[in-house]
Amino acid sequence: MSEISVREAEIIEHSQALKANLKKQGRLLHREIDTIIEKMQSEIDDMDAQNIAAIEKHKGVINSTINEICKVIQDLKKLLDSNDVSFISKYKSRNENFRKLPPKLAVSSLKFEPRIIHSDKLRELFGFISPSDREFLSVPFIEANVITDPTSSTSVSCQNNEGFWTICSDNSIRFQTVGRSICTKTGKRPADIALTRYGDIVYTDLSDRSINNVTNSKTQLLVRLKEWWPVYVCSTSSGDLLVTMNSGSYERRNKIVRYNGSTETQSIQWDEKGGQFTDNGIGPLIENRNLDICVVDRRAIVVLNADGKLRFRYSGRSVYKDKQFMPIGITTDSLGRILALDFASKSIRILDQDGNFLRFIDNCSLENPSSICVDSNDNIYVSDVNRVKKIQYYK
């Protein structure tokens, strides 16, 4: 009975701590909003000050002109009353000086364009409540086996369990559940695709070295590179894009670049010793819940922190002794666990966010896996030969 009471007390204490953290996060969010409002109000005040100063200056010019005109009128009255011929002959009209009026005052004005506030997007920004732990199924199973087309599914991307996007043999990007498709601007096959938190599609196109965003079937060019080739892309929790790219040259330099819209905000290429952070080329990448950047290095998984500093490198665990670890895809789940798709063993390795091995999924008959993603319910989607397999691995 005492054990039950202790457990009850622990649950209450944990819930109180959770609520306290929620309130703290709320205060931080309110503070950020207040800061934004104060900054915008300051911009309005600055503009008002500039406009008022311009108006006062304009009023000064007009008043000065009026005073001069009044003085001329007084002089003319004196002239009319005078009989002095020499005084009259010396008079010069100043009418021409006053014909040109002061230029019309132009003042700058601001306008506020409020955005629609989406509660779901606000909640994404605020954070999530998720289980602190979930129990693995003893035997993961294939929940669905969706046939695509013979050469599709080199890349798969999803958010919820309503469907998934793949790259198809006709070079289109297709939402497989309803058959909706998108064509690239060049008509060429995209190198990779990703979904943003707003549901937009982002794709990289090697044929013109571009990164593009598709919203409601409208394609917008974000970036076109000159010296680098954009390959793999992922969308972050903040809405930024992380893109792996290579130089395409003999020395085969690699790097990760962060973009906010079309603006480059971060470039990660060298480790602390001045060498490249990847040894065997660079593959797919994903941002974890703790903001780590997890990237495939062909023979390892490399995990960097948000600043681009190396946290750890996972090079495999000697279970399949006759096969070398060959990661080909990577994703993370709601608990921040890292799922690496291993081409050599045709399996999925699950690590915790610190690189500790947790388990294998090797019973789903993967033949030629090429890409992996996880939906919001922690279902795995693996692209395989002309199909995508949906795998459940949590209870």
Residue 197 and residue 235 in contact, taking contact as beta carbons nearer than 8 Å: yes
- Farthest-apart Cα atoms in the chain, separation: 124
Within this chain, do residues 285 and 378 fall inside the same structural domain, yes or no? yes
Mean local confidence (pLDDT), 188-215: 91
d(CA 182, CA 198): 17
User: How is residue 207 annotated by DSSP?
Assistant: T
Within this chain, do residues 191 and 316 fall inside the same structural domain, yes or no? yes
Which one of 103, 128, 146 terminates a domain? 103
Any domain includes 363: yes
> What's residue 321's pLDDT?
56
Give 88-125 pLDDT, tens digit per residue.
Answer: 677 777 777 777 777 787 777 888 888 777 766 677 67
Cα dist from 33 to 4, 62, 122, 127, whole Å: 43, 43, 12, 16
| Token digits of residue 293 | 């950047």
Mean local confidence (pLDDT), 216-241: 91
d(CA 355, CA 312): 7
Within this chain, do residues 42 and 173 fall inside the same structural domain, yes or no? no
- Cα 52 versus chain centre, distance: 40
User: Quick one: angle between helices 119-126 and 2-81, nearest 10?
Assistant: 110
pLDDT exceeds cutoff 90 at 15: no
Within this chain, do residues 92 and 198 fall inside the same structural domain, yes or no? no
Within this chain, do residues 61 and 175 fall inside the same structural domain, yes or no? no
- Per the listing, tokens 């009353």 go with 81
Give 364-390 pLDDT, tens digit per residue.
Answer: 989 889 899 999 889 999 998 888 899
- Cα 288 versus chain centre, distance: 13
Within this chain, do residues 42 and 156 fall inside the same structural domain, yes or no? no
CATH number of the CATH domain containing 275: 2.120.10.30
**In which domain, by residue range, is 98 found?**
2-103
d(CA 191, CA 284): 11
User: Which one, of 182, 140, 184, 146, lies nearest residue 163 by Cα?
Assistant: 146
Any domain includes 9: yes
Q: How many independent structural domains does the chain possess? A: 2
Any domain includes 324: yes
Within this chain, do residues 150 and 279 fall inside the same structural domain, yes or no? yes
Give 291's contacts (C-beta < 8 A, 6+ positions apart).
Answer: 236, 237, 305, 306
> What's residue 199's pLDDT?
86
Global confidence as pTM = 0.70
Give 251-262 pLDDT, tens digit per residue.
Answer: 678 899 999 999
d(CA 284, CA 274): 23
User: How is residue 276 annotated by DSSP?
Assistant: B
- Per the listing, tokens 């294998």 go with 360
Give 310-358 pLDDT, tens digit per residue.
Answer: 999 998 865 555 568 899 999 999 999 999 999 988 999 999 999 999 9
Residue 265 and residue 292 in contact, taking contact as beta carbons nearer than 8 Å: no
Any domain includes 124: no
Any domain includes 282: yes
Within this chain, do residues 277 and 321 fall inside the same structural domain, yes or no? yes
Within this chain, do residues 166 and 240 fall inside the same structural domain, yes or no? yes
Which one of 103, 120, 154 terminates a domain? 103
Which one of 83, 103, 123 terminates a domain? 103
Any domain includes 110: no
Any domain includes 278: yes
Within this chain, do residues 243 and 318 fall inside the same structural domain, yes or no? yes
Within this chain, do residues 143 and 185 fall inside the same structural domain, yes or no? yes
Q: Mean pLDDT lowest for which of 147-161, 287-301, 323-337?
A: 147-161
Within this chain, do residues 99 and 142 fall inside the same structural domain, yes or no? no
Give 167-187 pLDDT, tens digit per residue.
Answer: 887 788 888 766 678 888 888
- ∠ CA 140-145-147, nearest 5°, is 155
Any domain includes 17: yes
d(CA 393, CA 395): 7
Polymer length of the chain: 395
